[in-house]
Amino acid sequence: MLQINLVRENSQLIVDRLKVRNFDARGIVEKIIDVDARRREAQKNLDDNLAESKSLARRIGELYKSGKKEEAEKIKERTTRLKHINKDLQQKLEQYKVDQEDLLIRLPNIPHETVTPGDSEDDNQVVSESGTIPGLTDTALPHWELAAKFDIVDFETGNKITGAGFPLYKGKVAKLQRALVSFFLDKAMEAGYAEYQVPLIVNRDSAFGTGQLPDKDGQMYHIPSDNLFLIPTSEVPLTNIFRDVILEERDFPVKCTAYSTCFRREAGSYGKDVKGLNRLHQFDKVEIVQVVKPEESYKVLDEMVKYVGKLIDLLELPYRITKLCGGDLGFAASMTYDMEVFSTAQKKWLEVSSISNFESFQANRMKLRYRDGQGKINLAHTLNGSALALPRIIAALLENNQTENGINIPGVLVPYTGFEIIN
C-alpha cells in the first residue's frame, strides 16, 4: 500500500510510474485525493467539537461539585446537541477512512525507475546467463518420464490421494528433497539468516500484510470454518513476524529464513505449464527475507540475487537472471529478479526463484517501522526471495544429469543424500 502523503503530494509521479505497469491510476488517484480532503475536513471538525465537549463536560463536573446544579443543566443542553452532531461526523469520518483505504489498496507498488515497460514475461530483460547447458542425446527424457522410469515421483498415486498437482515423492527423490532443504538452510545460516519454523496457516491480517489479500484472493487455499489461509510461501509468516513492530537501528539488518511447504491453487493454469513438476499445488521451498533501512534496500537486493546465484552454481545448474518488466511485476514489488534454471530435456527455462524489493509497500500495510538516529519513526523496507523452490530444481537436476547409468547427484549434495546416483 502506498502512503497517503505520497499520493497527496506526488500524484503525477504515481500516475506516470504506474504506466510502466500498464496500470492507469488516474481515476483512482483523483478519487483518493478527493476523499482524503473530505476525510481531513471531517477530522478537523470532529476534533474541534470533541475539544469543546470535553471542556464543557469537565465544567459540568466542577459545577456539580460546587452545587451549582442549574448552571450545569444549562450547559448540558449544548453538550447533548454536540453529541448528536459528533455522532454524525464520526460516521462520516469512518466512511471516508474506509473509502480511502479501499482505494489505496487498489494501487500497486510503484516500479523502481530502472524498471522498463512491457506487457509480459517476453519483455523481461535477461541480465546474465551462467553455467553450461549440457549436450544431451536425442533420447534424453523429460523429468516426468525419468520419474516413471526410476519410480521416484508417483503422479498417479498423488492424484488418487488428493488430485492433480500433489505428487508423491518416493525413495531417492524423497531423500533428495530432504537433502536440498538441509543444504539450503545450512547455506542460509552461513550467510547470516536466522532460521525459523513458521505456521503454514495464517490469518487474514497476515495475508493482507504481505499483499496476498485482496489482490491474490483466489490463489490461496482458504479454510472457511476458521477463516484461515494455507500459505502460498513462507514469505507470509516470515515477514509478518514484524507486523506492528517498531525496530531500532541496531536491529538491522534483519535476515531470516524458513523452510516450508507452500500451497497454491494456481487457478487458471493449464497445458504444458503444469506438466510434471513444473507447476504444483503443493511444493517445498526455502525462503529468505530481509528487513532493512530504506537507503540500503537495493544494495541488499543485489546481495540476495548474488546469494541465490551462488546456490545454483553450487548445484551446477545452468541458469539465467532476468529483470522483470513493468507488466510482469507483482502487485507489491518495486523491482524483481527471476532466477531460471535450464531444464535441458524440456528445453525450457524454469523459474526457481523470484527475488523482490517491496520497498515500503508491505511495511506500510503491516506497520513495520523503525526508529532512526533522530528518533523519528519511518517505514522499513522488506525484501524476499526463494532460496530455493524445490520441484523445478529437481526437474532440472533429473533432466540435466541423466546418463546411461542413471542420474548423477551434484557433489555438494552427496553428503546430504548419502548416494551419488539415482538408478
Q: In the window 308-367, what residues touch RNA (CB under 7 A)?
A: none
Q: Which conformational region is residue 379 in: left (phi greater than 0), alpha (psi within -120 to 50 degrees), or beta?
A: beta
Give 73 or 302: the residue with its C-beta nearer to RNA: 73
Give the count of beta carbons closer than 10 Å to the beta carbon of residue 243.
Answer: 17
Q: How far is the CB of 240 from RNA (least distance, A)?
A: 16
Fill in the per-residue mask, 231 to 270: x = in contact with RNA (CB under 7 A), - = not in contact.
Answer: ---------------x------------------------
- Cell (9 digits) for 80: 447533548
Q: Is 48 in the site for RNA (CB under 7 A)?
A: yes
Give 50 or 148: the residue with its C-beta nearer to RNA: 50
Amino acid in the structure at residue 377? I
Q: Is 197 in the site for RNA (CB under 7 A)?
A: no
- Cell (9 digits) for 227: 477463516
Residue 409: Cβ-neighbour burial (10 angstroms; 0-12, 13-18, 19+): buried
Query: Which one among 11, 19, 33, 50 touches RNA, defined by CB under 7 A?
Result: 50
CA distance 196 to 253: 16
Residue 191: Cβ-neighbour burial (10 angstroms; 0-12, 13-18, 19+): middle
Q: Is 44 in the site for RNA (CB under 7 A)?
A: yes
Q: How far is the CB of 265 from RNA (least distance, A)?
A: 24
Q: How far is the CB of 249 from RNA (least distance, A)?
A: 11
CA distance 83 to 321: 62
Q: How far is the CB of 383 from RNA (least distance, A)?
A: 22
Fill in the per-residue mask, 11 to 40: x = in contact with RNA (CB under 7 A), - = not in contact.
Answer: -----------------------------x
Query: Which one among 1, 15, 25, 60 touches RNA, defined by CB under 7 A?
Result: 60
Using CB under 7 A, count the residues that bind RNA.
Answer: 27
Q: Which conformational region is residue 197 in: left (phi greater than 0), alpha (psi within -120 to 50 degrees), or beta?
A: beta
Q: Is 85 in the site for RNA (CB under 7 A)?
A: no
Q: Is 377 in the site for RNA (CB under 7 A)?
A: yes
- Cell (9 digits) for 100: 480511502
Give 79 or 219: the residue with its C-beta nearer to RNA: 79
**Residue 329, φ and ψ in degrees, nearest 5:** -70, 140
Give buried/exposed letters for 49-70 (b at 16+ CB in 10 A, else e): beeebeebeeebeebeeeeeee
Q: Is 189 in the site for RNA (CB under 7 A)?
A: no
Q: In the window 62-81, what residues touch RNA (CB under 7 A)?
A: 64, 76, 79-80
Q: Is 51 in the site for RNA (CB under 7 A)?
A: yes
- Cell (9 digits) for 53: 465537549
Q: Is 57 in the site for RNA (CB under 7 A)?
A: yes
List interacting residues with RNA (CB under 7 A): 4, 40, 43-44, 46-48, 50-51, 53-58, 60-61, 64, 76, 79-80, 83, 94, 246, 369, 371, 377
